[in-house]
Amino acid sequence: MSKRKRNPFKELEKSLHDAPQHMKKKVMNDIATAKLVMEMASLFTCNYKATLEEMFKTNPNIEY
């Protein structure tokens, strides 16, 4: 009575292959480089606010 419908997702699953080892290595190196750049940017940008606050902090105990 009812025809079975073809499921395209099952066909996609059949065609999966492992990536070549050199591609895996390249992707991991690219991710490591991106992480390093993000950490370096964080090091040089995120601490500006705290540094400026410390520089301009006034001490109420000092009399001029």
State pLDDT tens for residues 22-55. 999 999 999 999 999 998 888 777 677 777 787 7
Q: Half-sphere exposure (CA, 13 Å, Cβ side) for 41? A: 6
pLDDT class of 5 with cuts at 50, 70, 90: confident
Question: What pLDDT was estimated at residue 56?
Answer: 83
**Separation CA 18–CA 15 (nearest Å):** 10
Average pLDDT over residues 11-21: 81
Question: What pLDDT was estimated at residue 6?
Answer: 86
Question: What pLDDT was estimated at residue 26?
Answer: 97
**Any idea which residue has 């419908």 for tokens?**
5
**Separation CA 45–CA 63 (nearest Å):** 34
